[in-house]
Amino acid sequence: MPTIDLQGKNAVVTGSSRGLGKQYALDLAAAGANVIVHDVNEEAAAQFNEAPSGSAVASEIAAQYGVKSYFVAADLSDPEQTKRLIDRSIELLGSIDILVNNAGGDIGANTPRPDPNDALDISVEDIRAVVERNLLSTMYACKFAGLHMRERRSGKIVNVGSIAGHVAVKNGLIYAAAKMGVSQYTRSLAEQLRPYDVNVNCISPAPTYTARFLATRTVQGQEERSRLQQIAQPKDMSDIVMFLCGPQSDALSGETIVCWK
């Protein structure tokens, strides 16, 4: 595949001061795109010791790749804050060509993960928190960025689901349902934006090594597993996101790439 060239493109990656989102932001910048780094606050980057702050990540990207990069904080469960993120991104960069809706996670209202984390014993507060962080936040960001892209008749949106949304699960049911909702929402939004040359696709990542993943799960030995059975590395997932952001996917819209492991 030819090298992905995103020179002059402007990208917003939600939840990108850490984890998979940070890898997406780094790779977009390496391809030449200006990048808005986002997280719920400046301190989120340091939660699992991945970076000192959100602003530090943006400064690292700008210095390393010679692109524009800024940090913008917003709680995406709040539609007003989401709108401000999109408006501020346009103000800083001039436009948004690429939106990667990465922010989310199986995170409880007051705990790293809901506990209990099933369908019946889970607290109502945790149900609301998981749906807001994964499904509603994606819808809000797509709404406000999508209006901008529709007006410009150009853009690429990549929503991030999860393999959990494509299998039956006993743990993390609300998270799985919210991520399946992201996939269906992607398919339908793609149809609405198809007449305006805006591509909308989704990636459903496999379990991937991130600092949060390692801090909240016990990982069994991987040595005896094949490459396609092992827990993925962030670059494995980022390569797929880069394909969806680049010109090689210009004819693809409304699809979900499910990364089975």
Q: Which residue numbers are catalytic? A: 175
Rounded Cα–Cα distance for residues 207 and 188 (Å): 26
Q: Cβ distance 100 to 14 under 8 Å?
A: yes
- CA dihedral 59→60→66→70, nearest 10 degrees, is -30
CA atoms of 176 and 110, how far apart (whole Å): 19
Please state, as a whole number, how many other Cβ atoms lie within 10 Å of the Cβ of residue 8.
Answer: 10
Q: Quote the CA–CA distance of 132 and 129 in Å, as a whole number.
A: 5
Backbone angles phi, psi at 14, to 5 degrees: -75, 150
Residues 120 and 75: their CA atoms lie apart, in Å, by: 27
The token pair at 181 is 């909702």
Chain centre to alpha carbon of residue 134: 10
> Residue 253 and residue 250: Cα distance in Å, rounded?
8
In terms of Cα–Cα distance, which of 60, 59, 55, 75 is closest to 14?
75
Asked whether 133 and 173 are in contact (CB, 8 A), the reply is no
Cβ neighbours around 1 below 10 Å, total: 8
- The C-alpha angle with vertex 158 and arms to 135 and 245, in degrees rounded to 5, equals 170
